[in-house]
Amino acid sequence: MIAAFEGWNDAGESASGAISHLLSEWDHHLIGEFEPEDFYDFQVNRPQVKVDENILREIVWPNTQIYAINTPQLGHDFIIVKGMEPSMRWPTFAKELLDLADDHEVSIFITMGALLADVPHSRPISVSGSGAHPEVAKRLGVEISRYEGPTGIIGILQDACTKRGLDAVSLWAAVPHYFSQPPSPKASLALINALEDFLEISIPQGDLPELAKEWERGVDEMANEDLEIGDYVKQLENSKDAADLPEASGDAIAREFERFLRRREDGA
What digits encode the pLDDT tens for the residues 171-191?
A: 999 999 999 899 999 999 999
Share of the chain above pLDDT 90, in %: 76
**HEC secondary structure over 248-267:** HHHHHHHHHHHHHHHHHHHC
Between 145 and 156, the higher pLDDT residue: 156
Mind listing the pLDDT tens digit for each residue in 29-48? 999 999 999 999 999 999 99
Query: Cα–Cα distance between 165 and 172 in angstroms, integer?
Result: 22
| pLDDT value for 54 | 87
Domain 2-266 fold: Rossmann fold (3.40.50)
pLDDT tens track for 97-120:
999 999 999 999 999 999 999 999
Residue 129: beta bridge partners? 171
| Beta strands at 167-176 and 127-131: parallel, antiparallel or unpaired | antiparallel
